[in-house]
Amino acid sequence: MLVLRHVSRKFRPMLSCDHDPAPQTRALRYHATGKFEEVLRLETIPSVKPGEGEVLARLETAVVHPSDLGQIAGTYGRLRTLPAVAGREGVGRVVAVGAGVSALKPGDRVRMPEDEGVWRDAVVARADALLPVPADIPDDQAAMAFINPPTAWLLLRKFVALNPGDWVIQNAANSAVGECVIQLAHAAGLRTINLVRSPEKHEARLKNLGADIVLPDDKEAVKAVAAHLAGASPRLALNSVGGMSVATLIRTLGRDGVLVTFGGMTGDPIRFPTREFIFSNITCRGFWMDRWARSASREERDDVFGQIFENLRRGTLRMEVDSIWPLEKYAEALARAAAYGRNGKVLLRP
């Protein structure tokens, strides 16, 4: 893991709002959508004191996702009102509370609120809208706990009632979500078939995470899966690639199997083999974590995140970090995040 510089973890809580705890707030903002290197800027924005029912949270660690780049570019499914602060995921500390706040106190760790934009030094938000984060989870793991892990958790539980020993197949198994699927499936006693473009590069690492089978995602994959399973069939297939890879997944599914698409890395149209639809009664579904997060109840969200925190605590789930960058090195950080061949997420720290 590459760390660009030491970032101090010292914390000095402020117990009241008599003084402004954030006289200047830096934020990575864009005033128009486009390529991040052309529209994203590190700007100073007015600081705000927390009012009644509000807290001021200071960023500790933020994550760079493809969806962040999509929002900046204007291609993501939900865009922000401009000018906007970029970033969807991160963790911070409460440094000041407004009147009437009792559930949170200075020093508490919280998820940085997504809608306001995460890539900033600090933010004021409603206390009752913030998710508390356990203090015993490392900063980097806590920062990455809110998008990819719950996506994997829900993919494994929302569409098919799986039992220990059942098979799940996925493409792009070396992606961040794919690695979470492997670990959470393994912890639940499920078995995984994992299709990747370069097994020679990824097989040892994925099997170390708990993968049962790792195969090349090519035209021979259907036969290879059948040979490995010797008559068994996956009940659930997870697609984040698109194109012909989807046809491969569908052809491996057993009767009444379910294909769930939650991404489209190639941008190619999904291919649906008619035979399997008719004779195997295959169902195709879609999943968008953003929509689930906005429609689920607070109790549902707390339950899912509680499961993720517990897996992180037990060590049955761990996400890789590629590199850590200060906010002012955002151009290099985002270029690294967009590059092919990295292993793990790019993180930002103030």
Q: What H or E segment, with its residue span, contains residue 87?
A: none
Rounded-to-integer distance, Cα 130 and Cα 150, Å: 17
Rounded-to-integer distance, Cα 150 and Cα 81, Å: 26
Three-class DSSP category at 284: strand
Q: Which amino acid is at 8?
A: S
Three-class DSSP category at 110: strand
Q: At what angle do helices 176-187 and 298-314 cross, to 10 degrees?
A: 80
Q: What H or E segment, with its residue span, contains residue 330?
A: helix 330-338
Rounded-to-integer distance, Cα 339 and Cα 48, Å: 36
Q: Which amino acid is at 29?
A: R
Which residues does 75 contact at the CB level (< 8 Å), separation at least 6?
A: none
As annotated, the active-site residues are 76
